[in-house]
Amino acid sequence: MTLPADPIRVATVEDDPRYRASLETLLRHAEGFELVGAFGSPSAALDAFASLDATSDASPDLVLMDLELPGMSGIECTRRLKLLLPHASVVVLTVFEDRTRLVEAIAAGADGYLLKRTPAAPLLEQLRSVMAGGSPLSAGVARTVLDIIRQIGPVGDAPAEVELTPRERDVLACLVQGMSYKAVARDLTISIDTVRSHIRSVYRKLQVNNVAEAVGRALREGLV
């Protein structure tokens, strides 16, 4: 994946000092990332963010949010952060993969939901995908999302016919399985840039804005 010209500015909200330190080390040394804040509580993060705007060098493009935090949940912190810095993406980084927290986090505005056991390299890849318009989900979390969508079932009027190319259907099928862009590229033996191009085309044809919406429509309408 081609990195943006400017580094992705990242802040973390994590109360576990050891895990917070490991994230700081990872982000300080990862190509294409700049750590602009590491906070041990929601109140500290929100106080710091309150004086920022999108033009500030200290304003994060991306915030990694734990869920179990002192004084305020990560879900509520996400909701308030989205009001303070609507340009910033929020990715939940947690040990929890139950559907209640997942749905609440997405409803609060989270742009992705990853588990702390995600290895460093895939984690960085998923964070880059957020800035490319993706909505990363850990594999187990993706399965939970699919279960929820299946239970909802078909809605509304009969779906309009969608004309996807065979390769676009292949890419969409990979997204339904919760695969990352890199995994899709490897599975289909194409470049990540080609994957991104196909995904943009799929979004346009399905009239959706992110992976979750694309997967939801694919399952409801039997597109894969």
Long-range contacts of 74-78 (CB under 8 A, 24+ apart): 74/13, 74/42, 74/105, 75/101, 75/104, 75/105, 75/108, 76/42, 76/108, 77/13, 77/42, 77/45, 77/46, 78/105, 78/108, 78/109, 78/110
What is the reported pTM? 0.65
Cβ 81 vs Cβ 45: under 8 Å = yes
Give the Cα separation of 41 and 43 in Å (integer): 5
Position 150 scores a pLDDT of 55
Last residue of a domain, one of 145, 167, 194: 145
- The reply to whether 22 and 124 lie within a common domain is yes
129 and 187 assigned to the same domain: no
> What is the predicted pLDDT for the residue at 179?
73
81: left (phi > 0), else alpha (psi -120 to 50), else beta?
A: alpha
Q: What confidence tier does 178 reach under pLDDT thresholds 50, 70, 90?
A: low
Instruction: Specify whether 24 is located in the same domain as 126.
Output: yes
Provide the CA 68 distance to its chain's centre, in angstroms: 19
Task: Please report which confidence band the pLDDT of residue 40 belongs to, taking 50, 70 and 90 as the band edges.
Answer: very high
Q: Is the pLDDT of residue 86 over 60?
A: yes
Alpha-carbon distance of 146 to 94, in angstroms, equals: 19
193 and 128 together in one domain: no
Strand partners, 12: 38, 64
CATH number at residue 193: 1.10.10.10
Q: Do 161 and 67 fall into the same domain?
A: no
Q: Report pLDDT digits (tens) over 41-55.
A: 999 999 999 887 767
Same domain, 44 and 129: yes
pLDDT value for 184: 86
Same structural domain, 18 and 37: yes
Burial level of 133, CB count in 10 A (0-12/13-18/19+)? Answer: middle
Among residues 101, 123, 145, the one where a domain terminates is: 145
Q: Which residue has the higher pLDDT, 2 or 176?
A: 176
Domain CATH code at residue 130: 3.40.50.2300
SS3 labels along 134-191:
CCCECHHHHHHHHHHHHHHCCCCCCCCCCCCCHHHHHHHHHHHCCCCHHHHHHHHCCC
pLDDT in the model for residue 194: 93
82: amino acid identity, one letter: K
Asked whether the beta carbons of 59 and 36 are under 8 A apart, the reply is: yes
Q: How far apart are CA 215 and CA 206, in angstroms?
A: 10
Element (H, E) at 36: strand 33-39
Which pLDDT score, from 0 to 100, does residue 149 have?
56
